[in-house]
Amino acid sequence: MSFSRAASVLTALLALSGLHADEGMWTFDNLPLAKIQAKYGFAPDAKWLEHVRLASLNFGGASGSFISKDGLVVTNHHVGRGWVQSVSGPGAKDYIKLGFLAKTRAEEIKIPGLVIRTLMAMENVSDKVQAAVKPGMDAKAATEARQLAFEALRTDLEKRSTGLEVRAVTLYQGGEYWLYTSKAHKDVRLVMAPEMQAAMFGGDFDNFTYPRHSLDMTFFRVYENDKPYQPLHHLAWASSPLNAGDLTFVVGHPGRTQRQETFAQMKYQRDVGFPVRIATSEARKKALYEYGKQSAEHERQVRTAITNVENGLKATYGYWAGLKDAEAFAELERKEQELRAKVAKDSKLQAEAGQSWAKIEEALKQQKPLAKDASLLNTRGSVQLMRALSLVRLIEESAKPAAQRMKGYQKDEDLAKAKASLERPVRVSENPAMDTFLLVRNLEELKAELAPEHPFRKALLDGKEPAEVAKSLLEGTKMADPALVKQLIEGGVSALAACSDPAVVAARKISPLLVALNAKLEAIQVVISEHAGRIAKARFAVYGKSLYPDATGTLRLSFGPVAGVPGLGTQIQPFTTFHGLFDRALGWGPTVENGAWAMGPRWNERKATLNLETPFNFSHKVDIIGGNSGSPVVNTKAEFVGVIFDGNITMLPGNFYYDEKVNRGGRSIPRRRNPRQVKDLP
């Protein structure tokens, strides 16, 4: 097929599916290249795509990229903040408040536990997975057959991929099955982090807004064999300035969207899912603030946690607002009815998926009364209790025949992994007072929300007050002792039954209740997954791969031009500058709203040395969502022009639908008026 012919066909398909101009978080195997070429006069080729893919990084729920030949990595400050906090301390080591810069390679701080990944290869195994389903299988049997086949394929590839990790990836809600092979980088060191006041200038008020003036970035470095890692690809700094209207690309790992879920699923989220999630987050926010008010040191300990929960809450309220928009909600229903009408006209599709929408709706009715328990029945934020629960499950499941074990413990290698994880040395909490305070608050929430006769409340509180239970759990447990854990594992069920450790005792009581709840939820999810997969296949049959799959935390490419933002009856400019930064600080003053717009001392001290015309942040019209944080933004030359730090508040409904009029992304990292190749940090 000629390029022009392909372009015209694709344009027709896109029109049919209702996609907007620059909509889509596209997988690298299915990019709308003809559409990009037709609109912008440029489309990336295979070499370009391989380069940006291998330079991009997965931060486990966020994104980043290599930007030097010596393994220098950039991501957001809010992505790296928890890791910076983990190596911080009081006084001069408060790297969140004061910032950090390694002046030499020797001063770079190793971050225990931080693992980032490079996607090396992708393989479509959909036909092999679907072949496992035999005629006559019901929904549960079909789902299990696919899962077993998928896992077998993943395990086989991982055995053949020496030193690499293989992830099983489901796209189009079961329409496609892929294996993604990644290289894990486990020696990651902190190089530079700005002070919190600069990284989050404007605080929660400016979060998810534009114009923005935040330096939301942090630099790490990957090491291998105790030497700076030499990546196969890294992004060079842009060789020419970025201007309004220029085409940009975002390469990152959007966490999750729900655009292809059914109308019933979205309605469930609006009426049940989001209200429950918000209530839980608001309770945690309140507890963190209460603890932080006790002293400056208490505030330092919870500063990062508060920022994270506020960020999550603001995002969740934005998602929820999108589903409460009557006009948008009606359009979602209309689009579903359009698809259902097309399915009904095809006898084969109708037989396969015609009843699937009703099946999902019925499953959600069964899930609704379980929503509160699903939110509250857990280890209440206690690391010790969670560890004890894992221990109880490992010992109890190990004693059963493989066929009778619960999911995640059925194979010998599953048991071996769980055992190795529990026997590893545990970092003892540096803040036991904080752990106790938060656990008390979490148990108080449990007491307030569950009736006295509720089995889980009775099992965990046992008629006692939350403070008494929390003190017993945290002061009496030895779950941080690997020797005790190993002894219990070796002693098996009898040793577990005789153990009087308070965390183990509590875990034994709540484990069967959690298993029973999870079994109910999993049975419901099996039905939803099976019929969502059937709808996905029907959607394929109607629209083909002109659609992009929902975000799943896998690598995606989005695109769009540098553009301003509609706001307050005018247009907000696409670039902010250092001029704007100081103007906003002066306009508010240093004390309003606890100093949200105050300038850090070093900025005021060095103001005279700055070129205030330097662009600071910029806005562009791209389709992104949570998880894109830290994503590199590149130009048509595959050069680095910025890093995603968030979108505007009006793009948050993009979890469910795309609105090209208001969807914008915010980008950080100043650019030079006279660009040059950026030298690596020390």
The 10s digit of each residue's pLDDT in 546-566 is 889 899 999 999 999 999 888
Region 235-255: mean pLDDT is 95
Contacts of 653 (CB under 8 A, 6+ apart): 318, 319, 321, 322, 323, 325, 328, 659
> What whole-number distance in Å separates Cα of residue 358 and Cα of residue 199?
48
pLDDT computed for residue 664 by the predictor: 56
Neighbours of 33 (CB within 10 A): 18
Task: Summarize the chain as % helix, strand, coil (round to 5).
Answer: 50, 15, 35
Question: Closest Cα to residue 358, out of 379, 391, 336, 388?
Answer: 336
**CATH architecture for the domain at 3-115+186-259+549-668:** Beta Barrel (2.40)
| Mean pLDDT computed over 90-118 | 96
Model pLDDT for residues 522-549, shown as the tens digit of each residue:
999 999 988 998 998 898 888 877 889 8
Residue 662: predicted pLDDT? 54
Residue 626 has pLDDT above 90, yes or no: no
Q: Is the pLDDT of residue 43 over 90?
A: yes
Q: What is the mean pLDDT of residues 634-645?
A: 96
- pLDDT at 475 (0 to 100): 87
Distances (CA, A) of 375 to 113, 205, 506: 27, 28, 19
**pLDDT for 547:** 84
**pLDDT grade for 45, boundaries at 50, 70 and 90:** very high
pLDDT at residue 208, as a whole number = 87
Q: Which of 550, 681, 557 is nearest to 52 (CA)?
A: 557
Residues 464 and 473 sit within 8 Å (Cβ to Cβ): no
Residue 15 has a pLDDT of: 32
User: Side chain identity at 366, as an amino acid letter?
Assistant: Q
Residue 250 β-bridge partners: 558, 633
**For residue range 341-393, what is the model confidence (pLDDT) as tens digits?**
999 999 999 999 999 999 999 999 999 999 999 999 999 989 899 999 999 99
Cα(86)–Cα(430) distance, rounded to whole angstroms? 10
To which residue do tokens 């946690």 refer?
Answer: 305
Average pLDDT of 507-528?
94
| Top-confidence residue, 541 or 228 | 228
How far apart CA 409 and CA 416 sit, in angstroms, is 9
**pLDDT, tens digit, for every residue of 194-225?**
999 999 999 989 988 889 999 999 999 999 99
**Which residue pairs from 484-490 have beta carbons closer than 8 angstroms and sit at least 24 positions apart in sequence?**
485/387, 485/391, 485/422, 485/423, 486/423, 488/391, 488/395, 489/391, 489/394, 489/395, 489/419, 489/422, 489/423
pLDDT score, position 403: 85
515's torsion region: left (phi>0), alpha (psi -120 to 50) or beta?
Answer: alpha
The chain-wide mean pLDDT, for the chain, equals 89
Asked if the model's pLDDT at residue 668 lies above 80, the reply is no
Give the pLDDT confidence score for residue 537 in this predicted structure: 84
Question: What share of the chain in percent tops pLDDT 70?
Answer: 93
3-state secondary structure of 147: helix
**Helix locations, 269-411, DSSP H:** 274-292, 296-323, 326-344, 347-353, 356-367, 371-376, 383-398
pLDDT at residue 461, rounded to an integer: 94
HSE at residue 324, side-chain half, CA atoms within 13 A, is 12
How far is the C-alpha of 168 from the C-alpha of 123, rounded, in Å? 10
Task: Give yes or no for a cis peptide into 549 (omega within 30° of 0).
Answer: no
Concatenating the DSSP letter of every residue in 250-277 gives: EEE------TTS-HHHHHHIIIIIHHHH
pLDDT in tens, 437-476: 999 999 999 999 999 999 999 999 989 999 999 999 888 8
Instruction: Return the SS3 of 520.
Output: helix
The H or E element containing residue 163 is none
Strands (E), 98-210: 100-101, 109-110, 116-124, 165-171, 176-185, 187-193
Residue-wise pLDDT for 107-158, tens only, equals 999 999 999 999 999 999 999 999 999 999 887 788 889 999 999 999 999 9
Structure tokens, 609: 């040395």
**Tokens coding 254:** 């959007």
Instruction: Summarize the confidence of residues 301-328 as an average pLDDT.
Output: 88
Rounded-to-integer distance, Cα 451 and Cα 447, Å: 7
Tokens at residue 598, please? Answer: 């105050």
The rounded distance, in Å, linking the Cα atoms of 482 and 492 is 15
Note the pLDDT of residue 661. Answer: 62
Q: Structure tokens of 39?
A: 């609109």
Domain with CATH 2.40.10.120 in the chain: 3-115+186-259+549-668
Tracing tokens 């490079």 back to the chain, one arrives at: 118
Residue 586 confidence (pLDDT) above 90? yes
| Cα–Cα dist 106/125, whole Å | 45
Helix (H, G, I), strand (E, B) or coil at 181: strand
pLDDT above 90: residue 17? no
Q: DSSP letter string over 414-478?
A: HHHHHHHHHHS--PPPS-HHHHHHHHHHHHHHHHHHS-TT-HHHHHHHTTS-HHHHHHHHHHH--
Average pLDDT over residues 590-604: 91
Half-sphere CA count of 321, side-chain side, radius 13 A = 12
Name the band, by pLDDT with cuts 50, 70 and 90, for residue 428: low
In the chain, what percentage of residues exceed pLDDT 90?
Answer: 69
Average pLDDT over residues 327-333: 89
